[in-house]
Structure 1
Amino acid sequence: MKTTLLSAASFLTLASLASPALAQTPTLTISVYGIAQDAYSEALYRPFEAQCGCTLVVETGNSSERLAKLEANAGAPVIDVAALADFNALEAAQAGLLQPIDTSKLSNYEAIYDFAKDPVGGAMAVGYTFYSTSIVYRSDLVSIESWKDLFQEGLAGRVALPNITTTQGPLAIYMIDKAEGGTTPDLAAGIAAIGEHRDDIVTFYERGSQVPQLLQQEEIAAAVVGRFGWANIAKLDLPVEWAEPVEGQTGGMNVLSIVKGTQNEELAHRFIDYWLSQEVQTKLAMGLVDSPVNAAVEVPEEIAEGLTYGAETAESIEFIAPQTMLDNRDAWVAAWNETVAR
């Protein structure tokens, strides 16, 4: 009987080593924005899990909230891969929270636009999506050819601008500053122009989702928005247009980074590479979730209309350098509070 028990135990031990089902499943924890999670699950998360035989744990929140969590757990990281705004990724890198990405492990690296390859320096991030920021307007009521046209007489009391504390806020000020002839990183000319016309602004919105409702209710006739919000605005039963001002358009970029101290470095590289693939980037673009950085992605014209799409468009966007954002944002907020919010 004793021999039989030993044999059974040996058999169970060997079976557990041989059977993948009984082995521990690798887990990758990712920190991402909370939007469009059903679409991400279908296009990205579930297919990757099937491919890698692993489990994804998804944590969501806005960029600054998730950056704070990385800082709080710096000594014992609980996140492997983080999706952040480019300037938040630079902030994390400068705080020693990220580790370089080995781009030789990314088979799709050469397929992405050059501006997305090393947007914060030191190989600390790669871009996975980008967007333009411009003005949407009621074409039956006004014409927009310049960022200065936001302050035309016909729009007084019918304009919405993003608040300085939102992602779109600094981008709007940046282009208004350029239109006003600003030449200094304090964006003084742009902030002054908004302050001069602050009584003509219906609201300084906190969420882009407010804009379609304000247009639908005819409380506004123009607003500054990111291109990712255009699809919902274009669905309105209103004559709305996306402006292409003479001064150009600005925009933003979201990036992927590997958290310093991860115990899943190889799996983290595989996940980032998969996200950058033509297959995944096409699925997300077709769902109007993300504008693709993979230059090989092709979508129909009606889909492209809802995205920031194509090499020509990508080259036309004036991004604010992440370091410029970090160096000046506190001063921008202070000047805004004194000039606009007073």
Structure 2
Amino acid sequence: MKRRTFLRLATASAMSMLAAPYVHAENKKFSEITLRFGGWGGLYDETLRKSVTAPLEERTGLKVEISAGTQSADLVKLVANQKNPPFDVYQADSAYMVEALKANLVREIKEADVPNIKRILPGFREYGDYGIPYSVFTYIPVFNSKQVEKQLKTYTDLARPDLKGRVALPAATFDTWSLYLLALAEENGGSISNMEPAYTLLEQVKPNILALAQSTVAMVQMFENGEASAGVISDARGHEMRAKGLPIVSVYPPQGIYGATSYMNVVKHTKYPEAAFAFLDQMLSDEGMIGLPRAMRLGVTTDIKLPDEIAKDLTFNSPERIALKKKIDWQKWMADRSTRIERINKILRG
């Protein structure tokens, strides 16, 4: 080999050896960072680990620590430690977004920060530049087709006499799950500003109520044990029961479907905003977005094209269904929370 050729090859080899660590460092630029956020436990958190955090760590080195808890408890922790927050990302549904913004806990997120924001479908960012909508869950009537002869078609059907002692409903303290009350009001001439029709109907439903569930797990158990024949539960839990072989039918009332959106937020005083933005961008990617629909049949917020075998099981899987999605004044709903809980408890105790 000529000396000049050898020198060229040697130089190129040396440069590639120098470049490799540099490229590796670029790809693993978050390898020294651990991002923290509060999860919701179970299959939900497991799915986020598989579809969001694991691929992100593989590409960037970013580690994400998910601590299962509740959004209410996480909110309290953030309020108490605003300058040194226990989380970098706060997960909140539509109702708790109101509380997070009121407490000034989260920061604005622009498309320049998270490019995949451009893929979010119209109407899903309910709070302007705050919060990244990640999944959609509805609270719809369900019934056991082997125990209920005449199928339910509306939320109001839960008051039917043939369902006496067989209806499971959520406790009044659940702000999104108790949206069935707003449905009862609006199906019977009321509104979010006039809930009287709902309370009147609740008086009628009272003989039907088997129990007020304190969790979705408790609700599922009532159906599995054959105690409950009808009720209101999330579309994801309905799918879960059907997957177990239970003859549970989900109802999509023509007057409208009520539900909420799950948001991810960058906490205001996080030390790692750039890493948090990368995490949110991964969530909105096809790889990140498909996880929950595949595992739990939760709805999507982006323009992702889902496989037919998944899409057919989703609540909002057609233009006609999407048109049924009710718009909710969350500030009004949360402002009336105490009055609503007091009124419901009074009715049910009486």
How does the TM-score come out when normalised to structure 2? 0.84
**Residue deviations 1:198-218 (CA, integer Å, cap 9, x gap):** 122111111122333322332
Secondary structure, counterpart of 1:58 in structure 2: strand
* AA at the equivalent of 1:135: P
Rounded Cα–Cα distance in structure 2 between residues aligned with 1:186 and 1:49: 49
Contact 1:89–1:257 (CA<8 Å) still a contact in 2?
Answer: no
Q: Residue 244 of structure 1: CA displacement? A: 2.0
* AA at the equivalent of 2:202: I
User: What percent of counterpart residues are identical?
Assistant: 22
**Residue deviations 1:6-56 (CA, integer Å, cap 9, x gap):** xxxxxxxxxxx99969x9712222222223222221221111111221221
Q: Residue 311 of structure 1: CA displacement? A: 5.3
Rounded Cα–Cα distance in structure 2 between residues aligned with 1:64 and 1:289: 24
Paired position in structure 2 for 1:337: 345
Paired position in structure 2 for 1:28: 35
User: Judging changes above 3 Å, is the alpha-carbon distance between structure 1 residues 213 and 198 closer, same or farther for their aligned structure 2 residues?
Assistant: same
Contact 2:143–2:230 (CA<8 Å) still a contact in 1?
Answer: yes
Paired position in structure 1 for 2:66: 58
Secondary structure, counterpart of 2:216 in structure 1: coil
* AA at the equivalent of 1:29: R
Paired position in structure 2 for 1:13: none
Which residue, out of 165, 175, 190, partners 1:182? 190
Q: Residue 294 of structure 1: CA displacement? A: 1.6
**Residue deviations 1:271-328 (CA, integer Å, cap 9, x gap):** 1111011121123322226422122231233x23443343523332114222122211
Paired position in structure 2 for 1:231: 239
Q: Residue 95 of structure 1: CA displacement? A: 1.1
Matches within 5 A, 1:149-188: 149-188=157-196
* AA at the equivalent of 1:307: L
* AA at the equivalent of 2:51: A
Indicate the larger mover: 280-289 or 79-88: 280-289
User: Judging changes above 3 Å, is the alpha-carbon distance between structure 1 residues 254 and 95 closer, same or farther for their aligned structure 2 residues?
Assistant: same
* AA at the equivalent of 1:204: L
Secondary structure, counterpart of 1:108 in structure 2: helix
Count of residues in Structure 1 that have an aligned counterpart in Structure 2 = 322
Matches within 5 A, 1:60-75: 60-75=68-83
Could you tell me which runs of 5 or more consecutive residues in structure 2 were left unpaired when the two chains were aligned. 1-20
2:122 matched to 1:119?
no
Cα RMSD (Å): 2.4
* AA at the equivalent of 1:134: I
2:93 matched to 1:95?
no
Rounded Cα–Cα distance in structure 2 between residues aligned with 1:203 and 1:215: 12
Paired position in structure 2 for 1:265: 273
Rounded Cα–Cα distance in structure 1 between residues aligned with 2:36 and 2:243: 36
**Residue deviations 1:250-269 (CA, integer Å, cap 9, x gap):** 11111011111111111111
How does the TM-score come out when normalised to structure 1? 0.86
Q: Residue 120 of structure 1: CA displacement? A: 2.1
User: Judging changes above 3 Å, is the alpha-carbon distance between structure 1 residues 231 and 318 closer, same or farther for their aligned structure 2 residues?
Assistant: same
2:145 matched to 1:139?
yes
Rounded Cα–Cα distance in structure 2 between residues aligned with 1:184 and 1:172: 12
Secondary structure, counterpart of 1:225 in structure 2: strand
Rounded Cα–Cα distance in structure 2 between residues aligned with 1:327 and 1:168: 13
Rounded Cα–Cα distance in structure 2 between residues aligned with 1:232 and 1:274: 26
Contact 1:128–1:256 (CA<8 Å) still a contact in 2?
Answer: yes
Indicate the larger mover: 188-197 or 70-79: 188-197
* AA at the equivalent of 2:33: P
Secondary structure, counterpart of 1:103 in structure 2: coil
Secondary structure, counterpart of 1:316 in structure 2: coil
Which residue, out of 188, 194, 202, partners 1:194? 202
Contact 1:90–1:323 (CA<8 Å) still a contact in 2?
Answer: yes
Rounded Cα–Cα distance in structure 2 between residues aligned with 1:106 and 1:119: 17
Q: Residue 226 of structure 1: CA displacement? A: 1.0
